[in-house]
Amino acid sequence: MTDRTTYVTLTGVRRRGWTDAMVRDLLGSPDVQGRDPRRWSLTPVRLYLLVRVETVERTAEFAAASLVSEARSAAAGVYAERRRAAVLSAIRAEPIEVPLLPGPELERRAVRHRHLLGARGPGGAGDAPPEGLVRWQVSYLRHALARYESLLDGLYGETGRGDAERLLRRRLYEAIAGAYPALARECRRRIAVER
């Protein structure tokens, strides 16, 4: 059994500012590798001697690799921010075309859409409470506008994805409210809830 106070895991090395490439190039193979006795996992635990890690951290090679890593990280951040800004401006500029349907046809499609999604409850538009039918109509129209979600392509993880999704949802609900004034109140409610 190894003394865990003299070793650091790969996760611990990363917390100290190392990248995977730096670990591979500067530390090489782990000093101890095996299964974690505390939990079952297919991934072996890689342990590095803390003394060896600290020694490498004092070298010129580590300093140079850290500078390169920071530069790459900064460049990636700039690229991600540029991509985020481009997607947000594309969402703002994209004209949203809401399908214009007569009232009875919209009600019929909304009820059918609700039942296709497996919802239980009243059978038709005449059986639904008025506020329920309004919610169903907004849901149907929101689904009909799902093609605009492709504007979010290219945004991954945390880099602006949440902002872009909120902006797109707000624009879609505003377009629905503009096309169907009777649904505007429900659209405003959803915008407020989804913030």
Say what the pLDDT of residue 13 is. Answer: 92
Say what the pLDDT of residue 50 is. Answer: 92
Say what the pLDDT of residue 187 is. Answer: 95
Share of the chain above pLDDT 70, in %: 87
Q: Identify whether the C-beta of residue 133 lies closer than 8 Å to the C-beta of residue 104.
A: no
Q: What are the CB-based long-range contacts (under 8 Å, 24+) for 146-151?
A: 148/94, 148/96, 148/172, 151/87, 151/90, 151/91, 151/94
d(CA 80, CA 84) in angstroms, rounded, equals 6
Ranges under pLDDT 70 in the chain: 1-5, 36-37, 119-130, 154-159
Mean pLDDT estimate for the chain: 85
Residue 46: strand pairing partners: 33
d(CA 146, CA 124) in angstroms, rounded, equals 24
Mention every residue, 6+ apart, whose C-beta is less than 8 A from residue 143.
Answer: 113
Say what the pLDDT of residue 1 is. Answer: 44
pTM recorded for the entire structure: 0.59
Say what the pLDDT of residue 129 is. Answer: 64
Say what the pLDDT of residue 194 is. Answer: 79
